[in-house]
Structure 1
Amino acid sequence: LQTSDMLSRALLCLALAWAARVGADALEEEDNVLVLKKSNFEEALAAHKYLLVEFYAPWCGHCKALAPEYAKAAAKLKAEGSEIRLAKVDATEESDLAQQYGVRGYPTIKFFKNGDTASPKEYTAGREADDIPHLMSQEVPEDWDKQPVKVLVGANFEEVAFDEKKNVFVEFYAPWCGHCKQLAPIWDKLGETYKDHENIIIAKMDSTA
């Protein structure tokens, strides 16, 4: 072979190897859920303003139960053109990522905003398919902040609940729930106690609305 042919083949091999590596690190999806690894985690954070990431274990029963609901929510958000994307990390394979974000049980769900890796928020709201899109969908009541206990809905949840300058405590309730009804006067009293503290917010959100 001539030197030019050998050089061309060598360059082709390098190009194919590079393409394979890029493809391996690209943002793969399963059922509209981004599949994240250490190699593409930062890329995903940079690409999406809001990223909800589930750290799971393949053998975890709760994770298996969540999977179809999580996929439905991911599809709904994607179809609506929402800025929120759902992702997942196999914490048994990506142990470094799991350790970095303090994952101690499964599933653990973290909410990342604007690519901030320093202080992701723990997601503790509902885990049914309609619960996650619900967080960004509702209109804000005019009197949402007039009472000691603030009223959160989809449109103001992210702004209020993830305010880094304040300590925010949110009760997720259902109107028909007996335990929620028992908690209501206690939660109202808590709101009254801290209503004059600028850095503390007591709030509630109807998870069924």
Structure 2
Amino acid sequence: MKATLSISLSTTMYFRSSLVSLLFLSGALASNVLDLTPDNFDDAIGKGKPGLVEFFAPWCGHCKNLAPTYERLADAFAHVKDKVVIAKIDADGAGKPLGQKYGVTGYPTLKWFDASGEPTPYEGGRELDDLAKFITEKAGVKSNIKPPPPPTVEILDTHTFDEVVFNPDHDTIVTFTAPWCGHCKSLKPIYEEVAKDFLNEKNVRVITASTTS
């Protein structure tokens, strides 16, 4: 009897643990990006609601790089999902007929579908802010993306450089950057920390000067 009771308790604990794991997993996998296939495409697109659709392939490296940004984009417009669709199609799998229908030849391909279902290629930037701005302009809805905090690093151009850098009232630390420079992007968070360290030092200025300004 004791052995039977022990097995029952162990089994109960196992199922409870499994249930908790499944609930956690389902929450972790929840996504605001709508998965489209030929079976549900016409129900979501062209029904009076515009949307951005990504045609992707699971093996595509660029698609994998875009995926977290695209998820964040969908999250940013989740509060207005009744007004705009953020969706994706596996154009090398179940959605291959849709990829062929809309002339997809490379991955990822982004297309904007207006409220009537008419597609146009998206040719803008693929950073979160670029995509969100595009959707806001097209659909007239705002994202819930919070603006970044004001920079602690001062940004100068050719019009303000001499006035600030050669001011005898303070010392100046300057980094010269370019928007396309990978090393500059890597340095940015470190340089921001340096600027925070000197934020209350009135006789020290931490500056970034763009070489493309």
TM-score (norm 2): 0.48
Larger CA Rg, structure 1 vs 2? 2
TM value normalised by structure 1: 0.49
